[in-house]
Amino acid sequence: MKHSSLTMGQMIKRAETFFAKKEIISRTAGGMQTFTYKEMAERTRRLASSLQRLGIKRGEKVGTFAWNHHRHLEAYFAIPCSGAVLHTINIRLSSQHISYIINHAEDKILLIDEELVPLIEQCRDELSNVKAFIIMSDHKEPPTTTLSPAYNYERLLEEADPNYQYPDDLDENDPAGMCYTSATTGNPKGVIYSHRAIVLHSLALGLADSVGVSEKDIALPIVPMFHVNAWGLPFAGVWFGTKLIMPGPAFTPKLIAELIEEYKITITAGVPTIWLGLLKELQAKKYDLSSLRSILCGGSAAPKAMIRVFEEQYKIPFLHAYGMTETSPLATVSNLKSYQENIDLEKKLELRSKQGLLVPGLEMKVVNEKGVEVEWDGKQMGELCLRGPWIVTEYYNDERTASSFKDGWLHTGDVVTIDEEGLLKIVDRTKDLIKSGGEWISSVDIENALMANEAIFEAAVIGIPSEKWQERPLAYVVLHEQYKGKVTVEEVLQPLSAQFAKWWIPDDVIFINEIPKTSVGKFLKRDLREKYQMDKINQ
C-alpha cells in the first residue's frame, strides 16, 4: 500500500514539520553559514523544481561533485525525493575514472562545487550524456567556465518554485542513490541504493544498540558525502532532526578540532587516517573535545593503539564499525554486550578494537576457500558474506557482479574471524592476506601491532614473493618527526615477538615518508607492491 511505502520523502518532511528550528551549519569557501531545517526544506523543494525545469525525468541520474556542505545536503534530498537518482561522484578519482563513471551512470545533470569545476572541465569532452552543469557557489553570478550550459545554483533556486510538491507515487524499490567504488583492477564499479535501503539503513543508524543517531546529537560528518553517502549520516540526521555541522572543502586536523570544540559536536565520523591526523593535532595543541560521545570510525581497521590513546588519554569514546560501498555501509558496530562491561580494561579494548556485532536486519556467514562456514572461535579465518535489505545485490551494468554476488550473498572480499560472542574482526582483504609456508598471515594485525609503537605514525605490511615460503611479510613504516633517523629495523620489529609467532615477523622494514592512500584514505597496498617491484628492478 502506497502510504506505508519506505520512501525518502517522509524524511525531509519530518525534519521540516517537527524540527523547523533546528540548524544546519555549513562551511563553504565563503565562510560559515547557518540554515534552519525550515529553510533547508524550502531550498530543497526549490532545487527539486529546478531539476524538473531542466528536464530531469523519473529514474534519471543527477551527479554531484562536491564537498560536505548545505548545498550538497539539499541535493541529497531534492534528487531522490523528486524521483531522480543521486549519484555522488568521488572528486579524488583520476580524470579518466571520473569521466568513466559519469558516462557509465549516464548522468544527465552535474552539480559541481565552484572550486572543483576545473576537474570536470578537464574531462568535459569525454562526457556523452550530461545536458547541464549547475555550479554550486556562494554568489549568484553566472559561472565563468567552459562547461556549457552552466547554471548558477543560487540563481536557479531564486527562480524556482518554493511550493514544489514531491511526487507521492514513488515505489520503495525505486532507485534513490548511486555510488561507485574502486576496483582492484579496471574501472570503478557502481551500486544503486533503493529508497527502501536508505530508509531502513537510517533506522539502523538510529538504533540505541548501533550508532544511536538522535535529535540530541550535534553531528560532524567528516567522511565525504561522495563516499557511501557519508555513511548515511546526512539521511539519518535530517530524518531525526539532528543538528548538522558540514565541514566543507579542504579541511585540516586543526579545523576538525576547532569545529568539534566550537560547536560542541557529540558525534563525528571518518576513516582511521583522519583520526591519526587529529591525534597529531591534539598532541600539538590543547582543545576541549569533551562534548564528543562517539568517534565513529570505519573504512579500514582502526589500530588498537590509536583507539587506546583516544580513549585513555583524551577520554573520547571510539565506535569502531565496518561496512563498504556495497553495504550502504553500516554492517557491524563494536558495541560491547552488557555482560562485557565489567571485564578488565585491556580485554575490553581488545574487544572494542574488533569491528563488532552485526546490525539488526542483516545476515552474515563466513566461509573458507571451499565455501564451508568456519567456526566462530576467533581464530578460523574466512571471507565475510552479507545479505539484507541494505546490502546491494549487483553492480550496476557490470559483468563483475558475477564474482562478488553468489547465491544471494555479497562476498565482501574481506577476510574475518568471528569469536564465540559473534564479534567480527577484519583480518585482511583477501588480496592483502599473506600466504607464508602454507599458512595465512594477517597484514592488518601486524600493522596494528607496529602502530602501537610510540615512534611509529603509520605502517603498512605487504606480502613479497619468496621462493622458499611463497610469500613473506615486508613492513613499510612512517616514523613520527621526532623519531626520524633514530630508530632501527630491529627496534621496530623487536616488540612484535611478544605477540606473534616467529614466522609472522616481517623479514624487513623500509622507512618511508608517507603510506600511499586511496581516494578515501585507505592504505593503497597495490602501490606499495608496485614500488617494491620497481625498487627491486632499480637495485
Name the residues annotated as catalytic: 181, 326, 435, 440
Residue located via cell numbers 548511486 = 178
Total residues at interface with a copy of itself (CB under 8 A) = 48
Quick one: 249 or 317, whose CB is closer to a copy of itself?
Answer: 317
Q: Which stretch binds a copy of itself (CB under 8 A): 94-102, 308-316, 357-365, 514-522?
A: 357-365
Q: Which stretch binds a copy of itself (CB under 8 A): 145-153, 206-214, 448-456, 494-502?
A: 206-214
Residue 18 binds a copy of itself (CB under 8 A): yes
Q: Which stretch binds a copy of itself (CB under 8 A): 57-65, 240-248, 509-517, 520-528?
A: 240-248
Residue from 213, 319, 451, 475 that binds a copy of itself (CB under 8 A)?
213
Residue 339 binds a copy of itself (CB under 8 A): yes
Residue from 249, 317, 389, 516 that binds a copy of itself (CB under 8 A)?
389
Residue 387 binds a copy of itself (CB under 8 A): yes
Quick one: 81 or 147, whose CB is closer to a copy of itself?
Answer: 81
Residue 358 binds a copy of itself (CB under 8 A): yes
Q: Which stretch binds a copy of itself (CB under 8 A): 114-122, 223-231, 337-345, 530-538?
A: 337-345
In 3D, which of 303, 330, 327 has the Cα closest to residue 213?
330
- Nearest distance in Å: CB 360, a copy of itself: 6
Residue 204 binds a copy of itself (CB under 8 A): yes
What is the Cα–Cα distance from 514 to 108, expressed in whole angstroms? 39
Residue 163 binds a copy of itself (CB under 8 A): no
- Nearest distance in Å: CB 69, a copy of itself: 23
Q: Which stretch binds a copy of itself (CB under 8 A): 11-19, 82-90, 175-183, 509-517?
A: 11-19
Residues facing 27 on adjacent strands = 32
Q: Which stretch binds a copy of itself (CB under 8 A): 334-342, 432-440, 499-507, 527-535?
A: 334-342
Give Cα 194 to chain centroid, integer Å.
18
Residue located via cell numbers 572461535 = 377
Residue 380 binds a copy of itself (CB under 8 A): no
Residue 206 binds a copy of itself (CB under 8 A): yes
Quick one: 424 or 450, whose CB is closer to a copy of itself?
Answer: 424
Alpha helices in 316-389 (DSSP H): 345-352
Residue 421 binds a copy of itself (CB under 8 A): yes
Q: Which stretch binds a copy of itself (CB under 8 A): 17-25, 106-114, 116-124, 226-234?
A: 17-25
- Nearest distance in Å: CB 336, a copy of itself: 9
Residue 354 binds a copy of itself (CB under 8 A): no
Residue 232 binds a copy of itself (CB under 8 A): no
What is the Cα–Cα distance from 431 to 512, expressed in whole angstroms? 23
Quick one: 182 or 355, whose CB is closer to a copy of itself?
Answer: 355
Residue 419 binds a copy of itself (CB under 8 A): no
In 3D, which of 181, 21, 16 has the Cα closest to residue 92?
181
Residues facing 307 on adjacent strands = none
Residue 319 binds a copy of itself (CB under 8 A): no
What is the Cα–Cα distance from 461 to 445, expressed in whole angstroms? 9
- Nearest distance in Å: CB 387, a copy of itself: 4
Phi, psi of 221, deg, nearest 5 = -80, 105
Alpha helices in 396-467 (DSSP H): 401-404, 443-451
Residue 209 binds a copy of itself (CB under 8 A): yes
Quick one: 422 or 437, whose CB is closer to a copy of itself?
Answer: 422
Q: Residue 375, SS3?
A: coil
* Element spanning 383, H or E: strand 382-387
Phi, psi of 395, deg, nearest 5 = -90, 145
What is the Cα–Cα distance from 16 to 36, expressed in whole angstroms? 9
Phi, psi of 386, deg, nearest 5 = -130, 150
Residue from 176, 357, 427, 509 that binds a copy of itself (CB under 8 A)?
357
Q: Do residues 213 and 267 touch, judged by C-beta distance below 8 A? A: yes
Q: Do residues 35 and 24 touch, judged by C-beta distance below 8 A? A: yes
Quick one: 408 or 465, whose CB is closer to a copy of itself?
Answer: 408
Residue 338 burial (CB count, 10 A): 7
In 3D, which of 201, 156, 153 has the Cα closest to residue 177?
201
State how far the alpha carbon of 363 is from the alpha carbons of 324, 388, 510, 524, in Å.
Answer: 15, 6, 41, 29
Residue 342 binds a copy of itself (CB under 8 A): no
In 3D, which of 17, 11, 68, 452 has the Cα closest to residue 223?
68
Reading the block at residue 148, the C-alpha cell is 556549457
Q: Do residues 451 and 306 touch, judged by C-beta distance below 8 A? A: yes
Q: Do residues 531 and 524 touch, judged by C-beta distance below 8 A? A: no
Q: Do residues 27 and 138 touch, judged by C-beta distance below 8 A? A: no
- Nearest distance in Å: CB 321, a copy of itself: 16
Residue 388 binds a copy of itself (CB under 8 A): yes
Quick one: 383 or 458, whose CB is closer to a copy of itself?
Answer: 383
What is the Cα–Cα distance from 499 to 445, expressed in whole angstroms? 10
Residue 212 binds a copy of itself (CB under 8 A): yes
Residue 19 binds a copy of itself (CB under 8 A): yes
Residue from 4, 148, 513, 539 that binds a copy of itself (CB under 8 A)?
4
What is the Cα–Cα distance from 430 to 384, expressed in whole angstroms? 10
Residue 181 burial (CB count, 10 A): 16
Residues in the site for a copy of itself, rule: CB under 8 A?
A: 1-4, 6, 10, 13-14, 17-19, 21-22, 200, 203-204, 206-209, 212-216, 239-241, 243, 335, 337-339, 357-358, 360-361, 363, 387-391, 393, 408-409, 421-422
